[in-house]
Amino acid sequence: MDAPAWSLKARWVLPVLTPPVENGVIEIVGDTIVAVRQGGPATHDLGDSILIPGLVNAHTHLDLTGFPRPVTPPPTFADWITQVIQHRLRETPEQRLMAIRKGVRQSMAHGVTLLGDISSNGASSQVIASESVAATVYHEILGLNLERANQTRSAAANWLSSQSSANVLPAISPHAPYSTRRDLYAWAQSLSVPVQTHLAESFEEIALITHGSGPLAKMLHDLKLLPTENMPQGVNDVLRLLASQSSTQPVGLVHANYLPLESASSLGPNVTLIHCPRTHDWFGREPFPLLEWIRAGIPIALGTDGEACNPDLDILAEASTLFQMHPDIPPAKILEMCTINGAAVLGWKGKAGALATGHYADMVSVATDSASTLEKVLENLLVSKPKSMKTLWRGKWR
């Protein structure tokens, strides 16, 4: 039997893909939006509310939920990475699953309907499969020596071929140029799945892959991983391997704090930069040239990163921090970064991230003030924490 049609009405509907609709109505059948219109009757009236697409957190590490993040970052990036590695070594598989579950639940409470999770062994896909949220799960691959690289590649290949959940899209993440051989990047690029990599995150990374010097180089020497000829040679080498004009799959470059703006012309049409504003802030990075990247036509998506460098997994708080740091960016543009742009980089373009016919019925309803103009409504969404928030995922209230 076909699912019955029903509809939701709100003072403002913000489809993102198309202009806002006052007194908008969204018609739903099963898990899908079948129409968006202005005015007329609806089966459910949300009154003075705004309806936005379900929120998309394009980059997180669910398995680091609960990480005891210090108040200030350690002296060097290499120190921070060492702490993360030590945490992972201490963790049992059960503790890791618990952290993932906690991260999923926390994300859902913040209105997230689609996640991009970097999973060190792909374990989050089994947790997410039974939750009311969708995700692109990136099996992480890394290794500077051949043995480690082969081991991670075969684990990832086995994992990719075993995935079949309707709400999980399997993907691959070469970790970062300081930990991942060139041939692993090339392998990731040869697969027809979404890819994400951390890139140009710190000066230490740039010093290592450009000159072979700095604290990260020392750390890798101490671990007997250097010297190696297999590490990407500079940022442009990674771009050539993964993010060139010929890449066809969605590619997310995470952080890209020190990616030269001149790189914009060499990035393929499927490349998105993933910015994590509160992580950026915690590490005390230089201001991110967001407006310049937007002007260069490069899409930006938002992520929370993991709790090893971020207070929580609240993607709207990232949007809010971004708005405070970049008051020159219109709120509607910021909303795109945590909805439609996130969905695109995660490989869900046309299915998630917008309120439009044929998309999943994923949306967040936020109560608003009846006298507010649309500009005020959007500003309030980013400035003050929503008092009440309800999330519909695939046509059902969560």
Contacts of 376-380 with C-beta under 8 Å, sequence gap 24+, read: 377/12, 377/50, 378/14, 378/331, 378/332, 378/335, 379/331
Closest residue by Cα to residue 267 from 292, 295, 238, 289:
238
In three-state secondary structure terms, 357 is: coil
Closest residue by Cα to residue 249 from 305, 177, 310, 174:
174
Q: Between 36 and 199, name the residue whose CB sits nearer to Zn ion.
A: 199
Q: By rule CB under 5 A, what string of x and - marks binding of each residue 148-177 to Zn ion?
A: ------------------------------
Q: Between 127 and 254, name the residue whose CB sits nearer to Zn ion.
A: 254
Token pair listed for 290: 């967001």
Judge residue 17's burial from the number of C-beta atoms within 10 Å of its C-beta, 0-12 exposed, 13-18 middle, 19 or more buried. Answer: middle
Q: Which stretch binds Zn ion (CB under 5 A): 94-102, 126-134, 138-146, 299-307?
A: 299-307
Q: Between 51 and 315, name the residue whose CB sits nearer to Zn ion.
A: 315
The CB-of-308 to Zn ion minimum distance in angstroms stands at: 8
Backbone φ and ψ for 248, nearest 5 degrees, come out as -105, -25
Q: Are the CB atoms for 142 and 81 separated by under 8 Å?
A: no
The CB-of-254 to Zn ion minimum distance in angstroms stands at: 6
Q: By rule CB under 5 A, what string of x and - marks binding of each residue 129-148 to Zn ion?
A: --------------------
Q: Between 118 and 133, name the residue whose CB sits nearer to Zn ion.
A: 118
Number of residues in contact with Zn ion under rule CB under 5 A: 1
Q: Which stretch binds Zn ion (CB under 5 A): 74-82, 257-265, 297-305, 313-321?
A: 297-305
Q: Between 42 and 62, name the residue whose CB sits nearer to Zn ion.
A: 62
- For the chain, the residue count is 398
Strands 55-60 vs 112-119: parallel, antiparallel or unpaired: parallel
Q: Which residues are within 8 A (CB) of 213 and not within 5 positions of it... i.e. 6 or more apart?
A: 207
Closest CB to Zn ion: residue number: 305
Q: Between 305 and 336, name the residue whose CB sits nearer to Zn ion.
A: 305
Q: Are the CB atoms for 276 and 282 separated by under 8 Å?
A: no
The 8-class DSSP code of residue 318 comes to: H
Q: Between 46 and 337, name the residue whose CB sits nearer to Zn ion.
A: 337
Written as one letter, the residue type at 87 is H
Restricted to residues 4-63, the positions that interact with Zn ion (CB under 5 A) are none
The CB-of-307 to Zn ion minimum distance in angstroms stands at: 11
Judge residue 101's burial from the number of C-beta atoms within 10 Å of its C-beta, 0-12 exposed, 13-18 middle, 19 or more buried. Answer: middle
The CB-of-123 to Zn ion minimum distance in angstroms stands at: 16
d(CA 262, CA 29): 46
The CB-of-245 to Zn ion minimum distance in angstroms stands at: 26
Q: Between 27 and 305, name the residue whose CB sits nearer to Zn ion.
A: 305
Q: Which stretch binds Zn ion (CB under 5 A): 21-29, 143-151, 302-310, 358-366?
A: 302-310
The CB-of-112 to Zn ion minimum distance in angstroms stands at: 16
Q: Which residues are within 8 A (CB) of 172 and not within 5 positions of it... i.e. 6 or more apart?
A: 138, 139, 141, 156, 160, 188, 191, 193, 194, 195
- Contact between 305 and Zn ion (CB under 5 A)? yes
Q: Between 8 and 256, name the residue whose CB sits nearer to Zn ion.
A: 256
The CB-of-387 to Zn ion minimum distance in angstroms stands at: 31
Q: Which stretch binds Zn ion (CB under 5 A): 189-197, 215-223, 304-312, 366-374?
A: 304-312
The CB-of-305 to Zn ion minimum distance in angstroms stands at: 5
Backbone φ and ψ for 48, nearest 5 degrees, come out as -75, 75
The CB-of-58 to Zn ion minimum distance in angstroms stands at: 11
Closest residue by Cα to residue 195 from 243, 135, 130, 264:
243
The CB-of-274 to Zn ion minimum distance in angstroms stands at: 9
Q: Between 117 and 305, name the residue whose CB sits nearer to Zn ion.
A: 305
Q: Which stretch binds Zn ion (CB under 5 A): 62-70, 260-268, 291-299, 301-309?
A: 301-309
Q: What does the binding site for Zn ion look like in residue numbers (CB under 5 A)?
A: 305
